[in-house]
Amino acid sequence: MSHLMNTYGRLPVTFEKGEGVWLFDNHGEKYLDALSGVAVNGLGHAHPKLIQAINQQIAKLIHVSNIYHIREQELLADKLCEVSGMDKVFFCNSGCEANEASIKLARLYGHQRGVANPEIIVMEKSFHGRTLATLSATGNRKAQAGFEPLVSGFV
């Protein structure tokens, strides 16, 4: 029996390693990673340059809070703003956190323009995360069942 919460309908495969776009299960079978780790492994698996960059960074510093200045974070923010034409960057730990930030920014934008109760349009059959606000924005009643009352402001 697994001690993991049953939050997903897990598929009957156990991946043990990856190389580039390929995943390998515990029986040596090869699979194309068509999901890119649910959109978080855009650089692929085990690329030598990525391994080198990660090893160099963790040899210096693994993590500090964003309450401090982090040189590499500033450099990446500069580059992202340069190529995107945007003015600011907000780094997030997950897609769910990014969606939560988007919800907050959209509501703040509405309030700053005098909208007392801003609403956000969401799509049916969508999925935005497992926090209460992102679950409320998810257009899937089955996923929302049992977590009421949901956060209001989504249509």
pLDDT tens digit string along 32-83? 999 887 877 889 999 999 999 999 999 999 999 989 999 999 999 999 999 9
pLDDT of residue 8: 78
At residue 104, what is the residue type?
K
Q: Which of 147, 118, 117 is nearest to 130 (CA)?
A: 147
What are the structural domain ranges in the chain?
15-84, 95-144
On the question of pLDDT at 89 being above 80, the answer is yes
pLDDT of residue 1: 76
Q: What is the mean pLDDT of residues 97-110?
A: 96
* 96 contact partners, CB below 8 Å, separation of at least 6: 128, 129, 130, 131, 134
pLDDT of residue 146: 96
